[in-house]
Structure 1
Amino acid sequence: MRILALEPYYGGSHRAFLDGWQAQSEHDFTLLGLPAYKWKWRMRHAAVTFAEMVAKRVDQGQRWDAIFCSDMLNLPEFRGLTAPHVASLPAVVYFHENQLTYPQQRAKERDLHFAYTNITTAYAAEAVWFNSKYHHDIFLEAAATFLQRMPDYSHADVLDGIHDKAVVHSPGIDEFPARGARRDGPLRILWAARWEHDKNPDDFFAALEILQQSGIEYRLSVIGESFAQVPAVFAEARRRFADRIDRWGYQTSREEYVAALLDADVAVSTAVHEFFGIGIIEAVTAGAFPVVPRRLAYPETLAALESDETAAIFFDGTVGGLADRLQELATRQQAGRLWGATPQRGRLAMRQYYWDRIAAEMDAAMDNLR
């Protein structure tokens, strides 16, 4: 199958998703991507830009069997602007995130135009894929509430059609090398997430402060992508915990990123927004013990891990609860029983997300569009 893949925000997890799928797919992709910044502008102009880009390829004789796009494309707009034989192709939209439930940094009115674009794109597509059941559910719930607020012509019935064609396809991950012998030293704590407010770094660093005041020894690695506006707490934390830091900032190569994950004992999330949580999934695959709040997508994506031995992966979502859990794990690490009797449990459980399996499932789903 020849797939025309359109990604208005070709960076970060969006890029990793398409690159990973293509590398394992049996299908032939034409990937058109735009730089990953100024997301609002990308959502506004991408349909026009892609229509122009596609027109040039059509003139060169290129043809496709299906369209694949992310939630950041206005699919109806693109179909209205592109050649009729392209517009008539079956289309799949993949929801990495959505603009109905994405948390706002400040108390301000949500830009509902982008939220409505998400709904019309899902309505126009032949298939709607979500990265988790959690995401699927909260999007449809929020969309129903949103449309009920409209003064008239709410078209709330379109959600029935979206529900009927919506499925879950988790993103994939690459396999990680096996861990070597652990270096001596205290508990090594990893934060591997975007440096933005929705990942709730304030709670993470507040919990570390409690550990520090309690005299608990630990080492710290804080990695992940940052943007123009970085929450001030990161600079403050770098000064406060300077004598404990092993790694700080974006890891510029895959090798550095893998090394950071392989070195970690525990990987922590305090997120208030997470539709999948690929950073935690990768850390667990690399052998780190996850410590996450029992909310968002985590109970779903880490379900294969939960047992009496691994109940400690979930904390209550509070700063104090996280500090207590990390202190408990520091003690377990000293005793050499962080994972209990099954040290490979995390690595084995996360094999369900390896790209060879995920790509085959998505290839088959694309074939079913014909």
Structure 2
Amino acid sequence: MKFLFLESYYSGSHARFADGLKAASSHTIDLVTLPGENWQWRMMGSALYLARKKLRLSDYNGLIVTDLFNLADFLALTGTRHPPVMVYFHENQLTYPPPPGDKNAALLGMVNISTALAADSVAFNSTFHMNGFLDAVSTFLDQRPDCRPGRVSAKIAQKSMVLYPAIDAPPAGAAAHGRKTPPLIIWNHRWSYDKKPALFFTALQSLIDQGLDFRVALLGENTGKTPPEFASARDRLGNHLVHAGYAPSRAEYHRWLKRGAITVSTAIQENFGLSMAEAVAHGCLPLAPHALSYPEILPADAWEYCLYKGKKALVAKLARLTTGHETLVPLRRELAAAMGRFTWENRIAEFDRTLEALAGKKIS
């Protein structure tokens, strides 16, 4: 079968997902992309731009878009017969905590709602994400002043599903599990307020105050306003800090993950946790909130060591992993193996079945 994938924000995890699906699928997937910049304008304007392209939609068995796209506008503007459409939600603007002063949250949330309503199938990257979005749709619309549409969340739920994404992982059994002394603590998230870096640096300061030996690598993208904690990281961490900045290549990024002993998340927003899952697959022990998607993607027998509730537990468990990481090699191996279920090799069959089911829907 033949599918058209319109990726309006071709960068980072969005680009890797699109490229990975195209490469792994048994079907033909043609990619049409726009640069991964100006994400709010992509949500509002990319449909108008792409609708003017000669895309020959009727040549395809199905159309794939993601959440940073206004599908309702696109279908209205193309005005021709179009194949059934699946929208894949990497994130959404209803549950994402808006930065202070952002006045576009309501508008962008409505784009997500109309896109989900216009699609034939709606896929989310975790159960946590799907349930959070569906709940938020009802809450959001109930807060509008008048003319509130009914049963919108229920209509979206009827065509919704969970499709876990794929991660970049080493071959089975190839994760690094040897001695890692002093332990290297990995931060591999966006340098953004929603990842709550202040809490992470507070936990590191506690390790320093306890006289514990460790090293830190600050990875991840910095695409917006840098939280002040990163600007002062060198002064605060001194010789503990061995790297600060985005890895210029995936190969170098993976080398850092293999060197790591522990990967930490202090996020207040995370729909799947690709960066954590990839670090674990490469041999890091995770420490993450007992919330968001983390209980869903990490095995339950690891929660005692790897999930925390509150600042006090974060500090205590990070100290525990820092001093005892070498005794936890069996857990590290177990977790790395568990992440194998998120490789394209193991994910693609479900994606292909979903695309085949999409193609079986009536062409509009």
TM-score range, shorter chain: over 0.9
Aligned partner of 2:84 in structure 1 is 90
Greater Cα shift, 210-219 or 102-111 = 102-111
Which of 161, 165, 169 is equivalent to 2:159? 165
1:122 is aligned, of 112, 116, 121, to 116
One-letter identity of the residue aligned with 1:242: G
| 1:300-348 per-position Cα deviation (integer Å, ceiling 9, x unaligned) | 111xx221x6621011131x32221111112213xx3124x45410111
C-alpha separation in 2, matches of 1:267 and 1:343:
12
Q: Is the 8 A contact 1:195 1:224 kept in 2?
A: yes
Deviation per residue, 1:146-198 (Å, 9 max, x gap)? 11122333112222211010000011013315145735522211111011110
1:41 aligns with 2:41: yes
The CA RMSD measured in Å over matched residues stands at 1.8
The reply to whether residue 330 of structure 1 matches residue 322 of structure 2 is: yes
Which residue number corresponds to residue 311 of structure 1?
304
Give the 4+ runs in structure 1 shifted more than 3 A. Answer: 107-110, 179-184
The answer to whether 1:350 aligns with 2:339 is yes
- Which of 163, 185, 189 pairs up with 2:181? 185
Structure 1 residues without counterparts, runs of 5 or longer: none
CA contact (8 A) 1:179 1:286 kept: yes
Instruction: Say if 2:177 and 2:283, in contact at 8 Å, map to a contact too.
Output: no
Match of residue 10 from structure 2:
10
Instruction: Give the percent of matched residue pairs that are identical in Structure 1 and Structure 2.
Output: 37
**Residues of 2 paired with 1:237 and 1:353: CA distance?**
33
| Contact 1:130–1:170, Cα closer than 8 Å, also in 2 | yes
SS in 1 for 2:348: helix
Alignment of 1:133-212 (within 5 A): 133-177=127-171, 178-180=174-176, 182=178, 185-212=181-208
Between the aligned partners of 1:315 and 1:83, the Cα distance in structure 2 is 51
| CA distance, structure 2, for counterparts of residue 62 and residue 128 of structure 1 | 21
Bigger Cα displacement from structure 2, 65-74 vs 237-246: 237-246
Shift, 1:137, TM fit = 0.7
Structure 2: give runs of 5+ residues left out of the alignment: none
Matched residue pairs, number? 357
Q: TM-score, normalised by structure 1?
A: 0.92
User: Does the 8 A contact of 2:163 with 2:351 survive in 1?
Assistant: yes
Cα offset, 1:81, TM superposition: 1.3
Q: Does 1:132 align with 2:126?
A: yes
Cα 1:149–1:351 shift into 2, 3 Å: same
Structure 2 CA distance, aligned partners of 1:169 and 1:224?
A: 24
In the alignment, residue 314 of structure 1 is paired with which amino acid? Answer: L
Q: Quick check: 1:10–1:34 contact (8 Å CA) kept in 2?
A: yes
Shift of 1:12: 1.0
Q: Does 1:216 align with 2:212?
A: yes
